[in-house]
Amino acid sequence: MAVFFVLAVCALVSVALVSYVHYASRQRRKGQAGYGHEQEVLKLPPGSMGWPYLGETLQLYSQDPNVFFASKQKRYGEIFKTHILGCPCVMLASPEAARFVLVKQANLFKPTYPRSKERMIGPSALFFHQGDYHLRIRKLVQGALGPDAMRALLPDVEAAVQSTLASWDGRVTSTFHAMKKLSFDVGIVTIFGGHLDERRKAELRMNYSIVEKGYNSFPNSLPGTLYYKAIQARRRLHGVLCEIMQERRARCEPGTDLLGCLMQAQGDDGAPLLTDEQVADNIIGVLFAAQDTTASVLTWIVKYLHDQPKLLEAVRAEHAAIRETNDGGRLPLTWAQTRSMVLTHRVILESLRMASIISFTFREAVADVEYKGFLIPKGWKVMPLFRNIHHNPDYFPDPQKFDPSRFKVAPRPNTFMPFGNGVHACPGNELAKLEMLVLIHHLVTGYRWEVVGSSDEVEYSPFPVPKHGLPVKLWREKNTMNFKSCETGNVEDIIV
């Protein structure tokens, strides 16, 4: 039996080596040959493709992904090739390259996602598309999330924040889980306005939770698997959304919220632009886009403020002044006040840079493309590495230091892209920032908190968050806090 095992292993290794030689030879020829005389000099970017079929996926997931990409960049430069997740890829780690792919030549690179994820969210969701359909849906979503809509949403966002913090008061809980609940509640009120009853909310929350658990699971459709359960829950989500649309039509009240905007959209011929199925796909897509990413950033903000006591007191002073003008917090925040939180806004920008929740994005070359003398073959995945750019000391000195003051001056163009760039940049970025501003205001003026256990380790689920979601004990501040800030920026904390 032992001899048979050794022979089997040797055979597998031999097959793998032969396959690798064939694969490498084929890629070398593709990089050297071309579709014309000019392209004869083009070659593939430097890098390693790893094992046949497996590529370097195991190396990627056996360590911090950021370390993997940073080591590759250090060895090969700002453009390099690899093979991960079953796909040959070109990685780009410079602002110019990111702009080339996402803005300047965006027509040559289409957004791409695994088929299983498209099926989970819905193939008609806007971020799976490009061209006219994408532009029309994006315009509708941006219209529903514009400045006027944000002003109208502010009271609902504030109510959701206050409810989340009140339910947390006196308990130890995972910050990430609390922030996911907050982001989901904000997403629901953004999509459905104030017209959704509690039964519908519960149905959406329950089924969305099941879909989310299966989203990053292995796409096994056998009954009982996470993926199978998620597909079933996704169908139930679609059914609930269709019922809500039918009820609105029966009342002749489509609404002015995001759902209403999508339902009422018309094509050039005056006919409905979207079917109910397309509307449902886009609503589910917005729910996905609005939750985990925002919740991750909110979790990091709580950690960064906790770890920097002097900065926290300065932020408290900024918000204490706002609270004082609001009759000690008895009046709601105003839109103008959210625009006046200068230091807080810098804290948010630095949190977005440091955490870099979206470390990279996937595109696929729709034709052979030349970039700086290198060939990017048609069909290859192209990944601008946002985190590498955000942590490059050439653009952000001492990049591992949390320093909001660096945003007193605007970053160089294309060096700061926390919400992406170009036509596929996140259309809900202003809503996410509003959520962060309102949370920080009520957190620092009404509560104290302590991190339970170590907060230095990071886990990926799939976005980076402190380990265990940052367990925190939160309690309501019992005393009235007065904060005085002198011209030098020092903050004095006086307990009355």
Residue set of the binding site for heme: 426
**CA angle in degrees (0–180, nearest 5) for 365-368-370:** 100
Contact 322, 337 (CB under 8 A): yes
Q: How far apart are CA 248 and CA 283, in angstroms?
A: 15
- CB atoms near residue 448 (< 10 Å): 15
- CB atoms near residue 462 (< 10 Å): 12
- Got the DSSP string for 194-255? T---HHHHHHHHHHHHHHHHHHTS----STTSHHHHHHHHHHHHHHHHHHHHHHHHHTT---
The single-letter code of the amino acid at 58 is: L
User: Strands 447-451 and 471-476: what pairing?
Assistant: antiparallel
Q: Please provide residue 278's backbone torsions phi and psi, each rounded to the nearest 5 degrees.
A: -65, -40
E-assigned strands of 309-442?
363-365, 369-371, 374-376, 381-384
The set of residues, in sequence order, having a beta carbon less than 8 Å from that of 21 and lying 6+ positions away, is: none
Q: How far apart are CA 416 and CA 404, in angstroms?
A: 14
Task: Please choose, from the candidates 249, 244, 246, 238, the residue with its C-alpha nearest in 3D space to the C-alpha of residue 277.
Answer: 238
List residues forming the annotated binding site.
426
Q: How far apart are CA 380 and CA 371, in angstroms?
A: 14
402-436: b (≥16 Cβ within 10 Å) or e: bbbebbeeebeebbbbbbbbebbebbbbbbbbbbb
